[in-house]
């Protein structure tokens, strides 16, 4: 059971308010009162299965003060910090959780002139910055280079000779940690410089437009806000029967620290995390075995892209796999015995195999971090832990009605577990609370897997588009282009790759775009922006792309589509200049 209270007896925690409108709002804190509590994330969010182990990045910076509520009153009365408060409330907007979702919302709120506070129980930046996107991309930057340097054939094709490539594990781990620290500081400073009040402690909802934060019990502070956003994120999901010890059976929280590079590691789950870590581990010399519950690897991707990705990212590497099986019991290595993994058939549930390996990474999805948020005080029941919301991120109560002034964004609502989706949802909510209706089109949000080469996508997969077309009675067509025909890709000796577009030939609407190839993660935005802005193929195909660039792969994709009524609405009459 999760509960948002402190259990560590050594932990002395008192809440405070840091007003960031300037360095001088001391809010009863003097430098000698500032100290590290030495609390791990688990201690703060007691019982939560986040499995973070102790590190500077997962410690809580806490301040000793007992004057928090006075400070709040002072802030409101003075109109100190960002914006001017709506009459009768301490803040216009209070956000619980300073991950990328909360951070994006806070920045936009200040731009809109809202007096804003953000409550954080751990460190600013949340999963993405401290235990997700940021450190993982640092490791992937290393794996990309290692892979290239180790590929003698690839190097020779450029006429290059490279001596055997090697790496220093601690150096690689430091690169990831340093990057996380840098980005965390950047995020914190951006909040401070805009005058967002960072309130340290565990936040929860105590009633309509009312939030408390701090240590559960004696030193909590209640604040009021015209609007409240819950942005409390997620933690690794660990299936029943799996014993995580943080050393030999690990989640991404541990893997990102790269404390070891096991000779043989099983990765349970071949989604984003599994795939990205397979890229890292194999580049650093590990052998990988995937265990995937569904019948194919990478089940979340467009099947055609998945197949090609398997040919390039899995088959030629030191990777084997078991599909259609569940890992039901995983026991960490102890007393000289290896990690033991018991597999059952996903359909018949019959025992299938037992693997004995050096380590196992559990990459079976993420669980929302929503317990202990006081949702019962506003009559909200979670669904498998996720907070139910409508298309405007407005929280829905147990009777199916909207809870006024309460929103939930990011991983905690489960709509799309991506950093930029969390932030975009936050911005959308701020637009609404500032008086402008806004609905985010989730089908225009791109996603990318940062393997070498990368995979990216936006909108529907081909099977999803076919299903929709059948239901709604329209035709779909597919266009494809290859990186093999692209000058820049060939100059880089990176011809492995395709771009695929699913579209409506009757009106030129783009339904989905999927790219596998060099820099696919950067290339997808032309398509995602087109979908977001409602741009049709017959218009975008006239846009000019620099030569020679990888983006010509996408240019060719648009140009090769066959739209029946090929009448451009955007191409203006020729103008003499
Ligand atoms: C290994 C890995 C790699 C990833 N890579 C990518 C990627 O490349 N691109 C991408 O788009 N996404 C990636 N993601 C997903 C991305 O990290 C998440 O989608 C994103 O972090 C969600 O943001 P959020 O703001 O909803 O929640 P979080 O980032 O989880 O932030 C929630 C914050 O709320 C705080 N909090 C929770 N409860 C309370 C409370 N009661 N009171 C106060 N504070 C509280 C937490 O401490 C945390 O700081 C990755 C995830 C992982 C695990
Ligand atoms: N580059 C990125 O944007 C990026 C990178 C990492 C993570 N993420 C986000 O983090 C979230 C979590 O990533 P993830 O890879 O853990 O989840 P995921 O949902 O992408 O993949 C989980 C995989 O595990 C399989 N699985 C689940 N239970 C299993 C079991 N008991 N045995 C065997 N297989 C099992 C599922 O079938 C699925 O293929 C994702 O939603 C993703 O959006 C994004």
**Could you tell me the CATH number of the domain that includes residue 172?**
3.50.50.60
* Final residue belonging to a domain, choices 315, 337, 364: 364
Answer yes or no: do 210 and 294 share one domain.
Answer: no
**Could you tell me the CATH number of the domain that includes residue 459?**
3.30.390.30
| Contact predicate 253/50, CB 8 Å | yes
How many structural domains comprise the chain?
Answer: 3
Please indicate, yes or no, if residue 12 is contained in any of the structural domains.
Answer: no
Answer yes or no: do 374 and 353 share one domain.
Answer: no
pLDDT, residue 27, reads: 30
Residue 233 in marked binding region:
yes
Q: What is the pLDDT of residues 222-245, one digit of tens each?
A: 999 999 999 999 999 999 999 999
Q: Give the distance from CA 110 to its chain's centroid.
A: 23
Query: Which residues touch 308 (CB under 8 Å, ≥6 apart)?
Result: 498, 516
Neighbours of 452 (CB within 10 A): 18
Residue ID of nearest Cα to ligand 2 atom 4? 272
| Contact predicate 523/499, CB 8 Å | yes
If pLDDT is split at 50, 70 and 90, which confidence band does 29 have? Answer: very low
Does the structure show a pLDDT above 90 at 168?
yes
Q: What is the mean pLDDT of residues 4-17?
A: 29
How far, in Å, is the centroid of ligand 2 from the Cα of 212?
33
Q: Which ligand is nearest to the CA of 187?
A: 1
Ligand 2 atom closest to residue 236's alpha carbon, by position in its atom list: 16
Q: What is the pLDDT of residues 282-322, one digit of tens each?
A: 999 999 999 999 999 999 999 999 999 999 999 999 999 99
Residue 285 in marked binding region:
no
* Final residue belonging to a domain, choices 385, 402, 434: 434
Q: Which of 82-86, 424-428, 431-435, 436-440 is the least confident region?
A: 82-86
CA atoms within 13 A on the CB side of 538: 17
pLDDT, residue 573, reads: 52
Q: What is the pLDDT of residues 322-371, one digit of tens each?
A: 999 999 999 999 999 999 999 999 999 999 999 999 999 999 999 999 99
If pLDDT is split at 50, 70 and 90, which confidence band does 447 have? Answer: very high
How far, in Å, is the centroid of ligand 1 from the Cα of 568?
42
Answer yes or no: do 425 and 479 share one domain.
Answer: no
Residue 542 in marked binding region:
no
Residue 96 in marked binding region:
no
How far, in Å, is the centroid of ligand 1 from the Cα of 340?
30
The percentage of residues in the chain with a pLDDT greater than 70, rounded to a whole number, is 83
How far, in Å, is the centroid of ligand 1 from the Cα of 337?
35
Output DSSP code: residue 337: B
Answer yes or no: do 329 and 474 share one domain.
Answer: no
* pTM summary value: 0.88
Residue of 364, 368, 418, 453 to test ligand 2 pocket, by largest number of atoms within 8 Å of CB: 364
Average pLDDT for the chain = 86
CA distances from 284 to 268, 361, 438 (A): 19, 15, 45
pLDDT, residue 217, reads: 67
Residue 514 in marked binding region:
no
Does the structure show a pLDDT above 60 at 570?
no
Answer yes or no: do 403 and 454 share one domain.
Answer: no
pLDDT, residue 215, reads: 78
Please indicate, yes or no, if residue 29 is contained in any of the structural domains.
Answer: no
Please indicate, yes or no, if residue 356 is contained in any of the structural domains.
Answer: yes
Answer yes or no: do 372 and 323 share one domain.
Answer: no
pLDDT, residue 82, reads: 67
For ligand 2, whether the C-beta of 446 sits within 6 Å is no
Handedness of CA 7, 8, 13, 15 (dihedral sign): negative
CA atoms within 13 A on the CB side of 56: 8
Q: What is the pLDDT of residues 519-530, one digit of tens each?
A: 999 999 999 999
For ligand 2, whether the C-beta of 418 sits within 6 Å is yes
**Which is more confidently placed, 560 or 48?**
560
For ligand 1, whether the C-beta of 4 sits within 6 Å is yes
Q: What is the mean pLDDT of residues 80-89?
A: 70
Does the structure show a pLDDT above 60 at 36?
no
Ligand 2 atom closest to residue 275's alpha carbon, by position in its atom list: 15
Judging by DSSP bridges, how do beta strands 61-63 and 447-449 pair with one another?
unpaired
Please indicate, yes or no, if residue 169 is contained in any of the structural domains.
Answer: yes
Q: What is the mean pLDDT of residues 199-212?
A: 97
* Final residue belonging to a domain, choices 406, 434, 462: 434
Does the structure show a pLDDT above 70 at 53?
no
Residue ID of nearest Cα to ligand 1 atom 13? 133
CA distances from 279 to 34, 41, 554 (A): 41, 28, 25
pLDDT, residue 164, reads: 86
Q: Give the distance from CA 417 to its chain's centroid.
A: 6
In 399-508, DSSP assigns E strands to: 402-408, 447-449, 454-459, 477-482, 498-503
Tell me if ipTM is over 0.85. yes
If pLDDT is split at 50, 70 and 90, which confidence band does 569 have? Answer: low
Q: What is the mean pLDDT of residues 404-426?
A: 98
Q: Which of 215-224, 540-549, 563-572 is the least confident region?
A: 563-572
Ligand 2 atom closest to residue 239's alpha carbon, by position in its atom list: 31
Answer yes or no: do 295 and 320 share one domain.
Answer: yes
Judging by DSSP bridges, how do beta strands 510-517 and 454-459 pair with one another?
antiparallel
Residue 418 in marked binding region:
yes
For ligand 2, whether the C-beta of 326 sits within 6 Å is yes
pLDDT, residue 567, reads: 56
Answer yes or no: do 227 and 167 share one domain.
Answer: yes
Q: What is the DSSP track for 507-526?
A: T--EEEEEEEETTHHHHTHH
How far, in Å, is the centroid of ligand 2 from the Cα of 251?
11
pLDDT, residue 102, reads: 98
If pLDDT is split at 50, 70 and 90, which confidence band does 554 have? Answer: very high
Please indicate, yes or no, if residue 20 is contained in any of the structural domains.
Answer: no
pLDDT, residue 52, reads: 35
How far, in Å, is the centroid of ligand 2 from the Cα of 289?
16
Please indicate, yes or no, if residue 491 is contained in any of the structural domains.
Answer: yes
Q: Which of 12-21, 80-89, 336-345, 384-393 is the least confident region?
A: 12-21
Residue positions annotated with a catalytic role: 547
For ligand 2, whether the C-beta of 365 sits within 6 Å is yes
**Domain, as residue range, for 540:** 443-560
Answer yes or no: do 360 and 399 share one domain.
Answer: no
Distance CA 332, CA 356 (A): 10
The percentage of residues in the chain with a pLDDT greater than 90, rounded to a whole number, is 81
**Which is more confidently placed, 50 or 292?**
292
How far, in Å, is the centroid of ligand 2 from the Cα of 451?
15
If pLDDT is split at 50, 70 and 90, which confidence band does 43 have? Answer: very low
Q: Give phi and psi for 276, each to the nearest 5.
A: -65, -40
Answer yes or no: do 196 and 100 share one domain.
Answer: yes
Ligand 2 atom closest to residue 419's alpha carbon, by position in its atom list: 3
Distance CA 48, CA 195 (A): 31
Neighbours of 222 (CB within 10 A): 15
Residue 207 in marked binding region:
no
Please indicate, yes or no, if residue 200 is contained in any of the structural domains.
Answer: yes
Q: What is the mean pLDDT of residues 554-568?
A: 87
Q: Give phi and psi for 291, each to the nearest 5.
A: -120, 115
Q: Give phi and psi for 227, each to the nearest 5.
A: -135, 150
Residue ID of nearest Cα to ligand 2 atom 19? 365
Q: Which ligand is nearest to the CA of 137?
A: 1
Answer yes or no: do 470 and 371 share one domain.
Answer: no
Q: What is the mean pLDDT of residues 43-56?
A: 35
Answer yes or no: do 272 and 306 share one domain.
Answer: yes
If pLDDT is split at 50, 70 and 90, which confidence band does 409 have? Answer: very high
For ligand 2, whether the C-beta of 341 sits within 6 Å is no
Query: Which residues touch 572 (CB under 8 Å, ≥6 apart)?
Result: none
Query: Which residues touch 182 (CB under 8 Å, ≥6 apart)?
Result: none
| Contact predicate 258/277, CB 8 Å | no
Ligand 2 atom closest to residue 521's alpha carbon, by position in its atom list: 1
For ligand 2, whether the C-beta of 273 sits within 6 Å is yes
Residue 271 in marked binding region:
yes
For ligand 1, whether the C-beta of 202 sits within 6 Å is yes
How far, in Å, is the centroid of ligand 2 from the Cα of 440?
24
| Contact predicate 149/141, CB 8 Å | no
Query: Which residues touch 97 (CB under 8 Å, ≥6 apart)?
Result: 118, 119, 120, 121, 126, 203, 230, 231, 232, 233, 410, 412
pLDDT, residue 75, reads: 39
Ligand 2 atom closest to residue 252's alpha carbon, by position in its atom list: 16
Please indicate, yes or no, if residue 103 is contained in any of the structural domains.
Answer: yes
């Amino acid at each position: 059971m999760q509960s948002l209270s402190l259990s560590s007896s050594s932990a002395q925690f008192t809440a405070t308010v840091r007003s960031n409108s300037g360095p001088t709002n001391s809010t009863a804190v003097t430098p000698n009162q500032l100290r590290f509590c030495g609390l791990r994330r688990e201690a703060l969010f007691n019982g939560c299965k986040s499995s973070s182990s102790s590190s500077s990045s997962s410690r809580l910076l806490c301040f000793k003060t007992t004057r928090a509520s006075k400070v709040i009153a002072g802030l409101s009365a003075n109109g100190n910090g960002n914006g001017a408060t709506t009459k009768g409330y301490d803040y216009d907007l209070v956000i619980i959780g300073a991950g990328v979702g909360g951070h994006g919302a806070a920045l936009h709120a200040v731009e809109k002139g809202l007096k804003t506070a953000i409550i954080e129980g751990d460190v600013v930046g949340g999963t993405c910055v401290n235990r997700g996107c940021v450190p993982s991309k640092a490791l992937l930057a290393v794996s990309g280079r290692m892979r290239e340097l180790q590929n003698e054939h690839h190097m020779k094709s450029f006429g290059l000779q490279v001596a055997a490539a090697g790496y220093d594990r601690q150096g690689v781990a430091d690169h990831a940690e340093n990057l996380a620290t840098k980005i965390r500081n950047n995020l914190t400073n951006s909040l401070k410089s805009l005058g967002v009040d960072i309130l340290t402690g565990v936040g929860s909802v105590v009633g309509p437009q009312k939030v408390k934060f701090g240590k559960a019990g004696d030193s909590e502070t209640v604040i009021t806000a015209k609007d409240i956003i819950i942005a409390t994120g997620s933690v690794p999901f660990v299936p029943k029967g799996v014993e995580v010890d943080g050393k030999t059976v690990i989640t991404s929280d541990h893997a990102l620290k790269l404390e070891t590079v096991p000779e043989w590691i099983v990765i349970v789950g071949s989604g984003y995390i599994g795939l990205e870590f397979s890229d890292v581990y194999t580049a650093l010399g590990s052998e990988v075995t995937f265990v995937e519950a569904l019948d194919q690897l990478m089940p979340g991707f467009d099947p055609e892209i998945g197949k090609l990705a398997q040919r390039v990212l899995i088959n030629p590497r030191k990777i084997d796999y078991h599909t259609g099986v569940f890992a039901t019991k995983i026991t960490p290595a102890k007393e000289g015995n290896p990690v033991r993994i018991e597999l059952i058939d996903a359909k018949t549930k019959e025992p299938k195999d037992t693997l004995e390996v050096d380590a196992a990474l559990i990459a079976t999805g993420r669980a929302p971090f929503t317990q202990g948020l006081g949702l019962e005080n506003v009559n909200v029941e979670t669904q498998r832990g996720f907070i139910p919301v409508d298309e405007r991120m407005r929280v829905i109560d147990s009777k199916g009605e909207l809870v006024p002034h309460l929103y939930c964004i990011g991983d905690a609502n489960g709509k799309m577990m991506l950093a930029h989706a969390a932030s975009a949802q936050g911005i959308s909510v701020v637009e609404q609370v500032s008086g402008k209706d806004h609905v985010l089109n989730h089908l225009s949000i791109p996603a990318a897997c940062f393997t070498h080469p990368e995979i990216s996508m936006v909108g529907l997969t081909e099977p999803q588009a076919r299903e929709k077309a059948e239901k709604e009675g329209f035709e779909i067509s597919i266009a494809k282009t290859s990186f093999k025909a692209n000058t820049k890709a060939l100059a880089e000796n990176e011809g492995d790759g395709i771009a695929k577009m699913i579209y409506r030939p009757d009106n030129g609407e783009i339904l989905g775009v999927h790219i596998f190839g060099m820099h696919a993660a950067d290339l997808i935005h032309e398509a995602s922006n087109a979908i977001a802005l409602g741009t049709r193929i017959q218009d975008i195909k006239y846009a000019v792309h620099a030569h020679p660039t990888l983006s010509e792969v996408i240019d060719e994709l648009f140009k090769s589509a066959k739209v029946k009524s090929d009448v451009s609405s955007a191409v203006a009459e020729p103008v003499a200049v």
